[in-house]
Amino acid sequence: MNMSKVVTRFAPSPTGFLHAGNYRTAVFAYLFAKQHAGTFLVRIEDTDRARSKPEYEQNIMETLAWLDVRSDTEIARSSDRVERHKEILAKLIESGAAYVSHEAKKDDSNQMVDVVRFRNSGTTVSFHDEIRGDITFDTTEHEDFVIARAVDDPLFHLAVIVDDGDAGVTHVIRGEDHISNTPRQILLQQALGYAVPVYAHLPLILGSDRSKLSKRKGAKALTEYRDQGVLAEAMLDYLASLGWHPGDDREYLTREELIRMFDLSRVQKGGAIFDETKLFSINQHWMRALSDEAFVARGELVAADESKLREAVPLLKDRAHTFSEVREMLAGELACLFAAPEIEREVLVRKEPADRPGLTKSALQGLLEPLRRLPGDVSAEVVKDTLMPLADAEEAKGKGGRGGVLWPLRYALSGQERSPDPFTLISILGAPESTARIEKAIAILE
Ligand code: GLU
């Protein structure tokens, strides 16, 4: 392998929102550079002026900043380098490696144009791809290919190799869809005396239906996942796992571990599947890895009572896969932690066995005293050890007795069909608030 300082690049075209597959390319190029104490650079490849849009470029910058996959140098833009491309084009024409060709435009207009064609001797071009091995192309079919629409309008291939060459890029890590571009780019590099970089063409990423991931088929911009409350460290971990595996059974890797362990030669040749469910489960792991304080801060969570919010974090860590799920829970089944719920008589008595009228009320009354004796800061386990025997005793008197106690208790506390168990609720609400809610329920039954 090349011993000079490693320089990799990510050269996205801002012609649409990039998807996970594009960013996976960025992540691999970034990891490889960092691993070799090299340089990672980002270049906005806006050679297709008509389709390049500032909002797409803005989204690329935002996503890379979110992932903290940042360019080590100021971000270049192909359109800012057109003068340099023109200079190189002139050089190619002057040396005879390229020539101006007066020909009819390839449309129905009959218009004559002066394009610039590269003089291609039709040799075979071979290169070693770090992922796919040795590749040989016969370049005859490319004939004298067009490298500029006019002497002042150089095209993609020329721009790419001039920009890579001038930046000293040593490793071109990019999507497999660029493999067929490589022989033409190598011919240009050779004609201009640029060193041929090491190539690594990454396999495509497929959607869960195994078709190519594409925006048209609903592939999301990564910022949508950010807005849904996926953590950057989770996204980075997941993107790195698409087509690469550290080779041991480690499932979750930090940025530092990824930089240390990433291995270009272990990237698989077959397409990897982008699986949202897997991404969310990795996200849950990284959400759980946060301290409770960091969880609140990173999720930008707000609630009327901050200390209750903090106490609810273990519940949230247990249940949610994204921070939008967290917010839904706080507004839904966990709203009862922050405000006393409205409750209805019929729902309260729903589980009262038909042969034991009045059980709901007497059971709730029976819970008040033991609850009042609980210490201020109490765990769900202690609450359970205190109250469960009372529910068990009712069950011993007749089937359905346990539910006849626990259901109205949970409903009185939460006002919800679905909620955390009553012991957890009491441990977070505290005994005074819990007894107040139970007393309110008893009053409804008077
Ligand atoms: N601009 C190209 C793209 O967005 C990448 C070109 C390259 O990596 O050489 O697909």
Q: What are phi and psi of 130, to 5 degrees?
A: -60, -25
| pLDDT at residue 217 greater than cutoff 70 | no
CB atoms within 10 A of CB 223: 16
For residue 197, the CA-to-ligand 1 centroid distance in Å is 15
Quick one: residue 151, left, alpha or beta (phi over 0 = left, psi -120 to 50 = alpha)?
alpha
Q: What pLDDT is attached to residue 249?
A: 81
> What is the average pLDDT across 206-212?
83
Place of tokens 């040593």: 170
Q: What pLDDT is attached to residue 3?
A: 58
| pLDDT at residue 143 greater than cutoff 80 | yes
CATH 3.40.50.620 domain range(s) in the chain: 3-206
Which ranges of 203-254 does DSSP label H, i.e. alpha helix? 222-227, 232-241
Residue to mutate, 127, 160, 213, 214, ligand 1, most ligand atoms under 8 Å from C-beta:
160
> What is the average pLDDT across 114-129?
96
For residue 63, the CA-to-ligand 1 centroid distance in Å is 17
Pairwise CA distance, residues 279 & 107, whole Å: 46
Place of tokens 């869960």: 208
> What is the average pLDDT across 245-264?
92
Nearest-atom number in ligand 1 for the CA of 177 is 10
Residue to mutate, 173, 174, 179, ligand 1, most ligand atoms under 8 Å from C-beta:
174
Beta carbon of 45 within 6 Å of any ligand 1 atom = yes
Residue to mutate, 18, 49, 129, 178, ligand 1, most ligand atoms under 8 Å from C-beta:
178
Q: What pLDDT is attached to residue 209?
A: 81
> What is the average pLDDT across 378-398?
96
Pairwise CA distance, residues 67 & 200, whole Å: 22
Q: What pLDDT is attached to residue 2?
A: 47
Q: What would the two tokens of residue 240 be?
A: 């790195």
pLDDT (tens digit per residue) in 404-425: 999 999 999 999 999 999 999 9
Beta carbon of 12 within 6 Å of any ligand 1 atom = yes
Tell me the three state secondary structure of residue 277. helix
Pairwise CA distance, residues 201 & 168, whole Å: 19
For residue 13, the CA-to-ligand 1 centroid distance in Å is 6
pLDDT (tens digit per residue) in 295-330: 999 999 999 899 999 999 999 999 999 999 999 999
CATH 1.10.10.350 domain range(s) in the chain: 345-444
Residue to mutate, 13, 59, 214, ligand 1, most ligand atoms under 8 Å from C-beta:
13
Rg (C-alpha) for the chain, rounded Å, is: 32
Pairwise CA distance, residues 57 & 61, whole Å: 6
For residue 155, the CA-to-ligand 1 centroid distance in Å is 13
| pLDDT at residue 1 greater than cutoff 70 | no
Q: What would the two tokens of residue 36 be?
A: 């070799």
Beta carbon of 178 within 6 Å of any ligand 1 atom = yes
Beta carbon of 237 within 6 Å of any ligand 1 atom = no
pLDDT (tens digit per residue) in 60-112: 999 999 999 999 999 999 999 999 999 999 999 999 999 999 999 988 888 99
Residue type, 316: L
Place of tokens 């075209």: 13
Nearest residue to 337 via CA among 345, 326, 346, 347: 326
Beta carbon of 234 within 6 Å of any ligand 1 atom = no
Q: What CATH number is given for 345-444 in this structure?
A: 1.10.10.350
> What is the average pLDDT across 196-221?
83
Beta carbon of 410 within 6 Å of any ligand 1 atom = no
For residue 261, the CA-to-ligand 1 centroid distance in Å is 26
Beta carbon of 11 within 6 Å of any ligand 1 atom = yes
Q: What is the average pLDDT score of the chain?
A: 94
Q: What would the two tokens of residue 374 be?
A: 């609980």
Q: How far is CA 310 from CA 83, 230, 293, in A?
A: 58, 20, 7
> What is the average pLDDT across 200-225?
83
Q: What pLDDT is attached to residue 218?
A: 61
| pLDDT at residue 376 greater than cutoff 90 | no
Q: What would the two tokens of residue 360 be?
A: 């709901």
Q: Chain centroid to CA 211: how far?
A: 19
- Any idea of the CA torsion for 218, 224, 229, 233, to the nearest 10 degrees? 90
- 217 versus 429: the higher-pLDDT residue is 429
| pLDDT at residue 236 greater than cutoff 60 | yes
- 207 versus 135: the higher-pLDDT residue is 135
Nearest residue to 402 via CA among 418, 391, 414: 391
CATH number among 2.40.30.10, 3.40.50.1000, 3.40.50.620, 3.30.2010.10, domain 3-206: 3.40.50.620
- Any idea of the CA torsion for 20, 21, 24, 28, to the nearest 10 degrees? -170
Pairwise CA distance, residues 325 & 337, whole Å: 16
pLDDT (tens digit per residue) in 323-365: 999 999 999 999 999 999 999 999 999 999 999 999 999 999 9
| pLDDT at residue 216 greater than cutoff 80 | no
